Amino acid sequence: MGGDFILNYRPFMPQNRLKVNHLHIHLRPRELFDKLYKKSQIFETNLFKDLTQEEIKEIKTKYFLK
């Protein structure tokens, strides 16, 4: 079992009678293929696919890597 660690901090929102500057943290226990995974994270698989040779070449060129 793992978990998601979520930080909520919004200094860009003005403090007023309803919003007080603060920081709060959520720790949600998670399991692979849980309800949240099935609804949303399953669509993130394309974010972690291998780079193509063309993409690797472009990155190396941009950052002067050998």
Res 9 pLDDT > 80: no
Alpha-carbon dihedral angle through residues 48, 53, 56, 57, given to the nearest 10 degrees: -160
Q: Domain residue spans in the chain? A: 2-62
> What is the C-alpha to C-alpha distance for residues 66 and 50, in angstroms, rounded to an integer?
19
3-class secondary structure, 55: helix
Record the pTM: 0.33
At residue 35, the pLDDT reads: 85
DSSP conformation class of 49? S
Res 2 pLDDT > 70: no
pLDDT in tens, 35-63: 877 887 777 766 677 889 999 899 888 88
Instruction: With cut-offs at 50, 70 and 90, classify the pLDDT of residue 5.
Output: confident
